[in-house]
Chains A and B, each alone.
Chain A
Amino acid sequence: MRIHDFRESYVHDEALWPTRVQRAWLVAVLVALAAFPLVGGGYLVGLMCVLGIHVIAAAGLNIMTGGAGLISLGHAAFMGVGCYTAAWLAQRGVPFVVTLPAAGLMAAALGVVVGLPSLRIKGLYLAVATLAMQFLLVYVFREWESVTGGVKGVNVPPASLFGLELNTDARMAWLIGGCAVVMLIGARNLFRTRVGRAFTAIRDKDISAEVLGIHLLHYKLMAFAIGAFYAGVAGALLGYFYRAMTPEYFTLQLSIFYLAAIIVGGLGSTLGTILGAVFMTLVPELLRGGVAFAAQWTPRATEILSPIQQVVFGLLIIGFLVFEPHGLVEVWRRIRRFFHLWPFRS
């Protein structure tokens, strides 16, 4: 039951984590995240790294699409820009503390270019425009061999901090986890600012937003830039994590993966971003774990059940969208409401 939450001032009302219980949970989660690379096996820590990268990228798309209502099917390409920027700089000895923001800024700059059509078109038309950019950028990744290594891809030297090479999954998990936490707090804060509210106004009705004095050009491009910045940083981390990357990674399928993650998780919600990325990353792992479990007794289980697990995953997505169109975050909110009132109302 939630008690002692009186909200007596605006500061308290606007606080990100207004109650002690929330703050305690936050600290517990952060401590658990920090400790996990020490106790988790290579597989789980590797999974945490991939999840962290997906969370950052999905957070960017959720700012763009969930926050400002600008649909993008080119998110994977922005990640690619970040990855290749980081790789190119890292190969020339630039430290990752510089390459990481540089990757984000390069992607943001391209995001501004991609966002220009958003002034004239929106909805599905904008989606098609960003789709065109997705194909265009993947073409550049394949053809610009001197920078991207062409179809053969690039190798990324390991990141290092104060002489310590981040060449293990555990070390990368701290880097990726730290970046994810900072960027999620940034995303959450964004929607409490004038910029975030302008995004919301544009998403709800851009003409009305303009009447209210919101400069559409400025804010729409800013939404694209911020979303692409997140994708660029995620792409750079991806490069540092795998240390090798080919253009075939940054496909339309990956862009759709992120779109599915924010829809399943909950549009416009930071927690929804996390839940959606967790769902899209971990559920296939769990299903595959089930297949591996069955294969201990039936060696043929892998070849029989592997195709079925994809069907089950697809059905799970459809099921969530049908029964909870507002995403997993709404399920979470219902659970929280239940415990806020418990035990007086069940």
Chain B
Amino acid sequence: MSEMEQDLRSPARRRLVGAGLGAAGLSALPLSAALAQGGDLVVGAAPPITGVFAFAGVGLHQGLGDYCEWRNANGGVAGRKLRYIGEDSGYKMDQAMSVFKKIMGAHQPPVFYGDSTAWAKAAAAEVSRLGTTITSSPSFASDLADPAKVPYYFMAGPTYLAMIEIQLEYINSQAKAGGKPAVAIVYSDTEFGRDPIAGAKKHAQKLGIPLVQEIVTKPGAVDVSAEVAKLRRARPDYVIFHGYVLAPIPEFMKQMREAGMNVTSMGTIWSMDKTTVDAMGAAGQGWMGVMPYRYSYDTAGARSMQAIKDFAAKARPQMSYVPLFYTHGWLVGSIFCETMERCLKAGQALTGPNMKAALESIRDWDTGGIMGKPVSLASHQIPMGRIYRYDAGSKLLQPASDWISMAT
């Protein structure tokens, strides 16, 4: 190596080392947290950008981050700018907790978005102890919508149980003179899948809807012929699938159709994105389900949906369709901001108890059309949704009901 080359390398190395040490210092110093308290409002997040939930995690991360950018461009929160700091959780609890502790230690964000039910449960004790932060995540697990036990957590939508109840209410509304439609429930053998089942049975009983079959499968089961045979014998009018994203739903629908069954298949939020239903192919025809949000192509009279569409078109020109995960991230961001804004406008510090009170004061709040009616977060969830049906002609999910609210 010539002397000249060495001279060129040496400053570059020094710069690199300097930058590395600077970054390490910046991430470790509590000074940045102190500055953040007085200046920017930090929105911390550990979305699952990789791992088994990555299909949703990228959209969640983009939606929340883009909302912060959009909000900054529209004046911020009570005049203060937002700073979004998100790191990949990999959908692993250790990693999500590590990201949580890292961001909490370095920036002390007043709001934090996690990645799962397991994270929400593990972080709950520390969040309560700190009393500085309001949290949310993509989990709609029923026991997380409990202001007494998990005081600093909310979900931007209905619990899984409320989703099934909305479906049952819709099914009940379709009853004809001959009697109530018969329902079968197929769910995955996971925490996600089992969550609403006991409550769903009670609600079906309350409505007088006969629950004719209950089937548990592995999350990605392939061979479902035995289960389809059981369904065929049970002769349900509706089959509700819960605890899945895609597989084994298409296989169920295909085999049920081949078996000559005249049945309507329904799903819950994570199997309701348009890209997911498109992936079902021909089996997706007639697919229905509950969605707490409007689809991104449904912008008429919905200013937030229009804002999402415009911002995504400008910031992410390669994104041809804005998934529901993005909309969810955007809505979480707007609830975070509404909560902080209520505190700041009342002259209160951004502490956990103050923000919890502010969150619970959100009643008859307009989400800008993301959800069809004014919402309340008094119970730390929004038990509202609408039934959609997939139209294979337009390849769009179209409303099949009005917005249905459940009591909490």
Contact = CB atoms under 8 A, between A and B. Distances in A.
B398 interface: no
Contact of A50 (B65, B94, B141): B94
A81 interface: no
B95 interface: yes
Given A46-B98, A249-B118, A299-B65, A306 B88 contact: yes
B191 A152 contact: yes
A46 B93 contact: no
B315 to A, nearest CB: 9
A289 B27 contact: yes
B253 to A, nearest CB: 26
Interface residues of B, number: 44
A292 B27 contact: yes
A317 to B, nearest CB: 16
A151 B191 CA distance: 5
Contact of A303 (B61, B93, B97, B194): B61
B102 A43 contact: yes
B23 interface: yes
A302 B49 contact: yes
A292 B23 CA distance: 9
A169 B101 contact: yes
Interface in B78-118: 84-88, 90, 93-95, 97-99, 101-102, 104-106, 117-118
A246 interface: yes
Nearest to A296: B23
B49 A43 contact: no
A47 B106 CA distance: 14
Interface string A241-268: 0111111110000000000000000000
A42 interface: yes
A295 B20 CA distance: 14
Interface in B19-49: 20, 23, 27-28, 30, 49
Given A169-B101, A285-B98, A41 B65 contact: no
A288 interface: yes
B121 A43 contact: no
Interface residues of A, number: 41
B104 A244 contact: no
B190 A248 contact: yes
Interface string A146-158: 0000111101001
Contact of A46 (B30, B97, B125, B195): B97
Contacts of A292: 27, 85, 87
Interface in B114-150: 117-118, 121-122, 124-125, 129, 141, 143
Nearest to B48: A306
Which of A167, A169, A293 has the most chain B CB within a 10 Å cutoff? A293
B326 to A, nearest CB: 12
B321 to A, nearest CB: 17
17 contacts: A42-B105, A43-B101, A152-B143, A152-B191, A152-B195, A153-B118, A167-B129, A169-B101, A248-B93, A285-B98, A292-B85, A293-B20, A293-B23, A296-B23, A303-B58, A306-B50, A307-B50
Interface of B: 20, 23, 27-28, 30, 49-50, 54, 58, 61-62, 65, 69, 84-88, 90, 93-95, 97-99, 101-102, 104-106, 117-118, 121-122, 124-125, 129, 141, 143, 189-191, 194-195
User: Top 6 closest A-B pairs, CB basis?
Assistant: A42-B105, A306-B88, A43-B102, A151-B191, A244-B121, A46-B101
